[in-house]
């Protein structure tokens, strides 16, 4: 880490000691390239402000390697969970009608690429943690020093795996409006295709009906308070990455058949908030988990004795 990064880290520790959620309301999401780590911290991470970074993935092998044929041939037999939107249901009702189905990657790709299929599916539970070799096709962006990667793989797969997903999304599908658990920070990288995104800052929660609103087609008769919300829309193009600060609500929709990577991270800018989130969920395991982040070698023995 450079001396300037060390300085940023020191400042972030002062912020973390406050254990306080910070965000900055925005009217639009800025698009940046050639963004330094220090500028990212100062302009976005430290003030809780989303940003699209247009060149963070420029050296990724995944951009030319990951496509439907690749996943069908290399991971076709892998089982994953897809959201199944009832074909007869109108778009505004699909959020409440979706269910999960287990399906092989090969069968899923056959469904979404078939012009004769009347199914509408979204594969959003394909965990990259189960296939760590796929990380070789990516590079961790310099902006996200991910402390989750410190913990042993078995512990990671048990507790964090669900937050490390490859999304293979059919056109016009969505995971729905939500915010990420434990105050995680998140980033979404589009390998192919295009996503439309609606973002809402944490203070907008009172208008969002616990995520039941379809932000792309809101039913104001059913959810009248949403009329007071201040959604911010943006589009993530192929090769671009969206940074989502802690507790920001987000609704992402695939404008095309899309392959993307959605990652939750923990680092110096979010550790205290996430630790607080773990403690709220389970005080005992929360204390143990924060201990393992500081001392990763304790993970395996604590799992062995059944404490995790």
Residue 307 pLDDT class (50, 70, 90 cuts)? low
Q: What percent of the chain has pLDDT over 70?
A: 82
Q: Is residue 10 part of a domain?
A: no
CB 119 within 8 A of CB 84: yes
Q: Is residue 6 part of a domain?
A: no
Per-residue pLDDT tens for 241-274? 999 999 999 999 999 999 999 988 877 777 787 7
Q: Is residue 205 part of a domain?
A: yes
Per-residue pLDDT tens for 37-65? 999 999 999 899 999 999 999 999 999 99
pLDDT at 282 over 90: no
CATH of the domain at 210: 2.60.120.650
CA angle 91, 96, 98 (to 5 degrees): 80
pLDDT mean over 22-50: 94
Alpha carbon distance 232, 83 (integer Å): 25
Which domain, by its residues, includes 125?
A: 24-304
Would you state the pLDDT for residue 20? 75
CB 88 within 8 A of CB 286: no
Per-residue pLDDT tens for 132-178? 899 899 988 999 877 777 776 666 566 664 667 899 999 999 888 99
Q: Is residue 1 part of a domain?
A: no
| Total number of domains in the chain | 1
Alpha carbon distance 194, 242 (integer Å): 12
Q: Is residue 299 part of a domain?
A: yes
CA distances from residue 298 to 26, 147, 225, 290 in whole angstroms, order as listed: 42, 15, 47, 11
CA distances from residue 109 to 63, 82, 104, 215, 293 in whole angstroms, order as listed: 18, 11, 9, 27, 37
Q: Is residue 5 part of a domain?
A: no
Q: Is residue 16 part of a domain?
A: no
Alpha carbon distance 116, 271 (integer Å): 48
Q: Is residue 15 part of a domain?
A: no
């Amino acid at each position: 880490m450079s001396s300037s990064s060390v300085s940023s880290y020191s400042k972030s520790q002062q912020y973390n000691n406050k254990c306080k959620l910070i965000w900055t309301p925005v009217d639009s999401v800025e698009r940046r390239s050639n963004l330094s780590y220090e500028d990212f911290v100062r302009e976005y991470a430290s003030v809780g402000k989303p940003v699209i970074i247009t060149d963070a993935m420029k050296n990724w092998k995944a951009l030319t390697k990951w496509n439907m044929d690749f996943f069908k041939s290399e991971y076709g037999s892998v089982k994953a969970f897809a959201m199944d939107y009832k074909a007869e249901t109108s778009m505004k009702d699909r959020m409440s009608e979706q269910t999960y189905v287990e399906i092989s990657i090969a069968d899923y790709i056959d469904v979404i690429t078939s012009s004769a299929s009347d199914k509408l599916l979204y594969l959003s539970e394909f965990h990259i943690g189960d296939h760590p070799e796929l990380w070789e096709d990516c590079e961790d962006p310099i902006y996200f020093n991910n402390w989750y990667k410190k913990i042993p793989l078995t512990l990671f797969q048990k507790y964090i795996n669900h937050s490390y997903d490859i999304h293979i999304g059919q056109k016009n599908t969505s995971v729905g409006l939500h915010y990420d658990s434990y105050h995680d920070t998140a980033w979404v990288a589009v390998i192919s295709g295009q996503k439309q995104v609606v973002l809402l800052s944490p203070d907008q929660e009172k208008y969002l009906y616990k995520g039941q609103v379809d932000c792309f087609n809101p039913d104001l008769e059913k959810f009248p308070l949403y009329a007071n919300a201040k959604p911010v829309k943006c589009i993530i193009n192929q090769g671009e990455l969206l940074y989502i600060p802690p507790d920001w609500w987000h609704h992402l929709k695939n404008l095309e058949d899309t392959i993307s990577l959605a990652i939750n991270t923990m680092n110096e800018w979010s550790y205290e908030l996430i630790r607080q989130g773990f403690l709220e969920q389970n005080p005992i395991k929360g204390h143990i988990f924060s201990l393992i982040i500081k001392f990763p070698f304790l993970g395996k023995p604590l799992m062995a004795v059944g404490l995790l």
